[in-house]
């Protein structure tokens, strides 16, 4: 994971940890505020053209779940899946692509 992506993932994870620690009476409100912060970090990441990886998406989906925002968690999952489908698959290490093998 590139360093920039690690920083963004750490920020979103920090929102999760704070939401977990908040718990109790004002926990729900605090979790919503922290989810919005996590969404802001995700937006900053996109603006900087840093591609969210699995760790970032997992952290954001966890933040949405802790805030009780399951619809938002599923939207993030759908966006993650759509981005994965749009990106060409990387070749597997140690194996030649089938097209190359067929030429031999």
Q: How far apart, in whole angstroms, are the C-alpha atoms of residue 10 and residue 5?
A: 9
Residue 59 tokens, joined: 């952290």
Q: Residue 73: inside a domain, yes or no?
A: yes
Tens of pLDDT along 3-16? 788 888 899 889 88
Mean pLDDT of the 11-36 span: 80
pTM for this model (two decimals): 0.72
- pLDDT of 88 reads 54
Mean pLDDT of the 37-54 span: 90
Q: Residue 91: inside a domain, yes or no?
A: no
- Check if the beta carbon of residue 72 is closer than 8 Å to that of residue 36: no
Q: Residue 12: inside a domain, yes or no?
A: yes
Q: Residue 75: inside a domain, yes or no?
A: yes
Q: Residue 23: inside a domain, yes or no?
A: yes
Give the chain's length. 104
Residue 25 domain boundaries: 3-86
Q: How far apart, in whole angstroms, are the C-alpha atoms of residue 59 and residue 11?
A: 9
Q: Residue 99: inside a domain, yes or no?
A: no
Number of domains composing the chain: 1
Look over the chain and give the mean of its residue pLDDT values, rounded to a whole number: 79
- pLDDT of 101 reads 45
User: 100 pLDDT band (50/70/90 cuts)?
Assistant: very low
Q: Residue 102: inside a domain, yes or no?
A: no
Mean pLDDT of the 36-48 span: 91
Q: Residue 26: inside a domain, yes or no?
A: yes
């Amino acid at each position: 994971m590139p360093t920039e992506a690690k920083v963004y993932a750490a920020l979103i994870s920090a929102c999760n940890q704070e939401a977990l620690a908040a718990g109790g009476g004002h926990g729900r409100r605090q979790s919503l505020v922290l989810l919005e912060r996590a969404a802001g970090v995700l937006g900053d990441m996109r603006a900087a053209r840093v591609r969210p990886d699995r760790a970032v998406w997992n952290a954001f989906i966890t933040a949405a779940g802790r805030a009780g925002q399951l619809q938002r968690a599923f939207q993030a999952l759908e966006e993650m899946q759509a981005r994965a489908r749009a990106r060409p698959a990387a070749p597997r290490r140690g194996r030649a692509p089938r097209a190359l093998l067929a030429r031999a």
